[in-house]
Chains A and B, each alone.
Chain A
């Protein structure tokens, strides 16, 4: 098991461009979370999936953000028409939920810089 994998690790984009990030969770984990972290802050929840169903989205997730987990395995997070305020570290985590919460394991993150 290689843990949670995120790609790319770094992304620099021009304002107005679209970007897509990928997260491959730990294989047997049914829950997958996306978080955003800015400098000096704790991770902020964006959305989570249980298998392929998106069960909750934060109000932080504007209509420019969309996330998918089409087959209940990997997930993608797309940001359309990026803005400078989108610059942050985007973290993915996965966990196994069987009626009780287990620990979430995080990937190394994708650092987005919008110029």
Chain B
């Protein structure tokens, strides 16, 4: 069975601080995909990144960066120089490719509040 754990329920930072959101996953599949989504107060889930299990390169997109480490089954997300608009709930998700189930499994999310 697939499982995603986001141990941080809520994080509060002051604008311009860097913040890292943790994600640990469990799967028996050798091929799988990891995702991060942002859910602002408006409610719509916004896709941020997809990473497959064969690609362990870290990725940077503007102020966002992701650190994928298969050895620790982690896919952490860092926001550099946080801004108030980054305030949202962030979800890490996993989809496997074996075992007959191809549903996207979400963690419980981390609520990030960036204060001015």
- Which residues of A are at the interface with B, using a C-beta cutoff of 8 A? 33, 40-45, 48, 55-56, 58, 89, 91, 93, 100-109, 111
Flag the segment in B13-21, B39-47, B60-68, B74-82 that touches A. Answer: B39-47
Could you mark each residue 34-57 of chain B with 1 if its beta carbon is under 8 Å from any beta carbon of chain A, else 0?
Answer: 010100001111110010100000
B50 touches A42 (CB 8 A): no
A106 touches B44 (CB 8 A): yes
CB of B104 closer than 8 Å to a CB of A: yes
- Which residues of B are at the interface with A, using a C-beta cutoff of 8 A? 4, 33, 35, 37, 42-47, 50, 52, 91, 93, 95, 97, 101-109
29 intermolecular pairs with C-beta atoms under 8 Å apart: A33-B103, A40-B108, A40-B109, A41-B108, A41-B109, A42-B4, A42-B91, A42-B106, A42-B109, A43-B45, A43-B91, A45-B103, A55-B102, A56-B101, A58-B103, A89-B43, A91-B45, A100-B52, A101-B33, A101-B50, A101-B52, A101-B97, A103-B47, A104-B47, A106-B46, A106-B47, A108-B42, A109-B44, A111-B43
The interface residues of chain A lying within 8 Å CB-to-CB of B42 are: 108
- Closest partner residue, chain B, to A58 (CB atom): B103
- What 6 pairs between A and B have smallest CB-CB spacing? A42-B106, A106-B45, A45-B103, A103-B47, A108-B44, A101-B33
A103 touches B50 (CB 8 A): yes
